[in-house]
Amino acid sequence: MKNNEIEEILNLHNECFLDKKKYIDIENMFNNSSYKINTIVEEEFIGYMILLDSFDSYELFEIAIKEKYRNKGYAKKLLYSISYNKDIFLEVSEKNIAAIKLYEEIGFKKISIRKKYYLDGSNALIMKK
C-alpha cells in the first residue's frame, strides 16, 4: 500500500466516522498482518474495507465509500471479495439504515445489540454471516 492510499483511507475514515484516526493508526493496521485492507481505485480513490482476521473468524472492522460513489455497488463489490470460509462479524449503528440493508442483502443476520456503543449514544447492532 502506498502512502497516498493510507492518506485516502485516513481522510475518508475521518469524513465518515465519529472516531477520528491519525495516519499512524492506519499505517499500523497496514503493517499488522492480522488486518486485511482492500481498496477500490478507478480514476480516483473510491473506498476501502478493513477486515480483522482472527483465529476462527473475521471482523469487518470498517467499510467506507466516498459519498459521490455510494449506491453504485462498490460496497457490495468489497463485501463479495471476502473469503467466507469462516464466520464474519460486524458492528453497525442502528441509525445506519442503508448499511444494515446492504449487510442483510449480503446475508448477514442480527445477533445482538450493544447499548449506547457509539460516541453519539446510538446502539450497535452485532451482525454475523
Residues recognised as catalytic: 91, 103
Our measurement of the distance from residue 108's CA atom to the centroid of its chain's CA atoms, rounded to an integer in Å, reads 14
**3-state DSSP assignment of residue 36:** strand
Give the integer Cα–Cα distance in Å for 103 and 15.
Answer: 21
Neighbours of 32 (CB within 10 A): 10
Residues with Cβ within 8 Å of 117's Cβ and at least 6 positions away in sequence, in order, are 91, 123, 124
Residues with Cβ within 8 Å of 115's Cβ and at least 6 positions away in sequence, in order, are 123
